[in-house]
């Protein structure tokens, strides 16, 4: 008789969601966590980064208050106060992810490193747990690039960045993805000099039309963006650290943050003992997130490498995975993972958001007959009134008007992204959005206006005008 119905390795966003569902259904659950409950999102990821961005925005709002006729002195940054705010946000959310809460749900929480011992056995804390089903949700860690000299210099990752006792004097950031850009803007607004070195283009998976305003905003915040540039070495410097670029430029800074991507936390899991196959991208699963080589085992969150889709590192993907695993593993219902309507948002100011594929993704995938609809956010009354106008809603639709992808940039587009997730995910016709009554004045009106652009040319066409003219003559 197995000791547990469901064994979950990792109490991050993915593992916690799976454990909550399984325990809620009355199953015997063992949840293994060797580090902090809540994993990256709570402790070193989403929560501290958004808390730091909020502090930075407060400073920036004070600097820009003169636009409203309010003159304030240059804000004084109390770094200890900023850190207290970040720590306070984590502490306020922590009870949701706590050992006590999960024990209360009926799960057995084992604070130890877990590893597979057999196809259906996990060892942790000196005990063996015979399981019916296991979910590997061990997450990912920052990639440490093979940069010559890196072992000689102190460097930061998101795991150490939020513990700095002082605001960095000059923060060098390697990588201009979501982590690099969010942290660049946050630190620049809080008083650091910031230089980002990006080997390709910043947030390069996003739509170039949407990237442009982010690039301009970061430059306005004083961030130096070096794109299409590689660092070839690093070395100690009197300032702290130096990065040598491929053209020979020597950049010096007080701190170096590495933000060049994620790698699955496979080490120590002993997946081979359970015949669970993994690639350098993660645990290989089918589209129901079930291991292709051990059908008792599933993978969720950053560590999952679903065939044909690859890993995605987002907290909302962790929830999506957990719901799908519940369907497939617990209810034995058909389940097939799709990222067709997946939203992703980089929380710079302005935000950049992508829901589903970009126009370039669709064209590269061979889609023809695409129509691109645009609605500029500088015509949005609410944003104009708030002195924040600027940005774009760009929709890519097929011949029949089916919405395939939405690319957004501007203030408030993070909150607008949910509309497009619903539209694409539920395959709602564009007319639903174009015909919706949106509250005035909101940024969301731009979503409706962009959708309306599909119908306007047809509505105002000469034949329709002729019919309306004829109808007007009727008694």
Tell me which residue of 415, 447, 446 sits closest to 428, measured CA to CA.
447
Q: DSSP secondary-structure letter at 311?
A: -
Minimum distance from residue 413 beta carbon to ligand NAD (Å): 13
Those residues whose C-beta lies under 8 Å from the C-beta of residue 430, and which sit 6 or more positions away, are: 395, 397, 401, 402, 403, 423, 451, 454, 455
When the beta carbons of 371 and 421 are compared against ligand FAD, the nearer one is 421
Binding characters for ligand NAD, 311-330, by CB under 6 A (x = yes):
--xx----------------
Site for ligand FAD in 152-211 (CB under 6 A): 158, 179
Please tell me whether residue 345 binds ligand NAD under the rule CB under 6 A.
Answer: yes
SS3 74: coil
Report d(CA 313, CA 263) in Å as an integer.
10
Report d(CA 30, CA 12) in Å as an integer.
14
Residue 197: beta bridge partners? 174, 226
When the beta carbons of 227 and 237 are compared against ligand NAD, the nearer one is 227
Please tell me whether residue 199 binds ligand NAD under the rule CB under 6 A.
Answer: yes
Please tell me whether residue 139 binds ligand FAD under the rule CB under 6 A.
Answer: yes
The interface partner of residue 260, options being ligand FAD, ligand NAD, none and the CB cut-off 5 to 8 Å by kind, is ligand NAD
Lookup: tokens for 248:
């020979």
Among 32, 155, 298, 347, binds ligand NAD (CB under 6 A): 347
When the beta carbons of 131 and 375 are compared against ligand FAD, the nearer one is 131
Report d(CA 43, CA 56) in Å as an integer.
19
Report d(CA 220, CA 214) in Å as an integer.
10
Residue 7: beta bridge partners? 30, 134
The interface partner of residue 191, options being ligand FAD, ligand NAD, none and the CB cut-off 5 to 8 Å by kind, is none
SS3 256: strand
Q: Which stretch binds ligand FAD (CB under 6 A): 70-78, 136-144, 286-294, 377-385?
A: 136-144
**Strand ranges, E, within 121-254:** 121-124, 127-136, 140-142, 170-174, 193-198, 224-227, 231-237, 240-245, 250-253
Residue 306: beta bridge partners? 285
Minimum distance from residue 213 beta carbon to ligand NAD (Å): 17
Residue entry with tokens 């995605």: 312
| 291, 322 Cβ separation under 8 angstroms | no
Among 97, 123, 198, 207, binds ligand NAD (CB under 6 A): 198
The residue length of the chain stands at: 475
When the beta carbons of 373 and 416 are compared against ligand FAD, the nearer one is 416
Among 8, 9, 223, 329, binds ligand FAD (CB under 6 A): 9
Among 21, 46, 328, 377, binds ligand FAD (CB under 6 A): 46
Report d(CA 12, CA 402) in Å as an integer.
36
| 102, 22 Cβ separation under 8 angstroms | no
Burial of 432-454, coded b for 16+ CB within 10 Å and e otherwise, reads ebbeeeeeeebbbbbbbbbbbbb
Minimum distance from residue 444 beta carbon to ligand NAD (Å): 20
The interface partner of residue 395, options being ligand FAD, ligand NAD, none and the CB cut-off 5 to 8 Å by kind, is none
Those residues whose C-beta lies under 8 Å from the C-beta of residue 468, and which sit 6 or more positions away, are: none
Tell me which residue of 203, 34, 194 sits closest to 122, measured CA to CA.
34
Among 24, 204, 268, 435, binds ligand NAD (CB under 6 A): 204
Please tell me whether residue 392 binds ligand FAD under the rule CB under 6 A.
Answer: no
Q: Which stretch binds ligand FAD (CB under 6 A): 27-35, 96-104, 163-171, 291-299?
A: 27-35
Among 18, 31, 55, 179, binds ligand NAD (CB under 6 A): 179
Please tell me whether residue 177 binds ligand NAD under the rule CB under 6 A.
Answer: yes
Binding characters for ligand FAD, 89-128, by CB under 6 A (x = yes):
------------------------xx--------------
When the beta carbons of 140 and 192 are compared against ligand NAD, the nearer one is 140
Minimum distance from residue 353 beta carbon to ligand FAD (Å): 11
Among 53, 89, 186, 197, binds ligand NAD (CB under 6 A): 197
Residue 263: beta bridge partners? 141
Site size toward ligand FAD, by CB under 6 A: 36
Positions touching ligand FAD (CB under 6 A) are 9-15, 32-35, 39-41, 45-46, 49, 113-114, 137-139, 158, 179, 265, 268-269, 301-303, 313-316, 318, 347
Which residue ranges make up the site for ligand NAD (CB under 6 A)?
A: 145, 174-180, 182, 197-200, 204, 230-231, 259-262, 313-314, 344-347
């Amino acid at each position: 008789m197995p000791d547990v119905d469901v064994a979950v390795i990792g109490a991050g966003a993915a593992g916690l969601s799976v454990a909550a569902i399984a325990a809620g259904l009355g199953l015997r659950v063992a949840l293994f966590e060797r580090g902090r409950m809540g994993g990256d999102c709570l402790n070193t990821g989403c929560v501290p980064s958004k808390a730091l961005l909020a502090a930075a925005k407060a400073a920036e709002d004070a600097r820009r208050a003169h636009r409203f006729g309010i003159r304030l002195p240059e804000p004084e940054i109390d770094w200890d106060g900023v850190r207290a705010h970040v720590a306070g946000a984590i502490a306020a959310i922590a009870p949701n992810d706590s050992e006590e809460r999960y024990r209360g749900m009926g799960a057995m929480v084992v604070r130890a490193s877990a590893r597979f011992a057999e196809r259906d056995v996990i060892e942790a804390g000196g005990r063996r747990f015979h399981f019916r089903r296991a979910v590997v949700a061990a997450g990912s860690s920052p990639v440490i690039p093979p940069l010559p000299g890196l072992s000689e210099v102190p460097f930061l990752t998101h795991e150490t960045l939020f513990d700095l006792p002082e605001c960095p004097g000059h923060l060098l950031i390697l990588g201009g993805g979501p982590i690099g850009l969010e942290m660049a803007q946050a630190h620049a607004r809080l008083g650091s000099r910031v230089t980002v070195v990006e080997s390709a283009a910043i947030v390069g998976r996003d739509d170039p039309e949407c990237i442009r305003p982010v690039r301009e905003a970061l430059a306005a915040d004083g961030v130096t963006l070096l794109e299409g540039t590689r660092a070839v070495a690093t070395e100690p410097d009197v300032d702290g650290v130096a990065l040598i670029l491929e053209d020979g430029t020597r950049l010096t800074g007080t701190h170096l943050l590495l933000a060049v991507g994620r790698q699955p936390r496979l080490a120590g899991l002993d997946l081979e003992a359970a015949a669970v196959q993994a690639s350098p991208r993660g645990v290989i699963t089918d589209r129901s997130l079930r291991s292709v080589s051990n059908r008792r085992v599933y993978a969720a969150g950053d560590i999952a490498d679903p065939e044909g889709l690859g890993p995605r590192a987002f907290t909302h993907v962790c929830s999506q995975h957990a719901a799908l695993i519940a369907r497939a593993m617990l209810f034995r219902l058909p389940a097939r993972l799709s990222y067709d309507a997946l939203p992703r948002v980089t929380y710079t100011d302005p935000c950049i958001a992508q829901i589903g594929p970009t126009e370039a993704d669709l064209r590269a995938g061979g889609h023809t007959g695409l129509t691109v609809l645009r609605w500029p956010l500088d015509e949005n009354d609410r944003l104009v009134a708030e002195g924040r106008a600027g940005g774009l809603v760009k929709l890519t639709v097929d011949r029949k008007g089916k919405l395939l992808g939405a690319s957004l940039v501007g203030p408030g587009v993070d909150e607008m992204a949910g509309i497009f997730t619903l539209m694409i995910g539920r395959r709602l016709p564009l007319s639903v959005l174009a015909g919706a009554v949106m509250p005035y004045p909101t940024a969301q009106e731009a979503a409706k206006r962009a959708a309306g652009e599909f119908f306007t040319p047809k509505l105002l066409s000469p034949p329709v005008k002729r019919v309306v003219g004829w109808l007007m003559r009727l008694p």
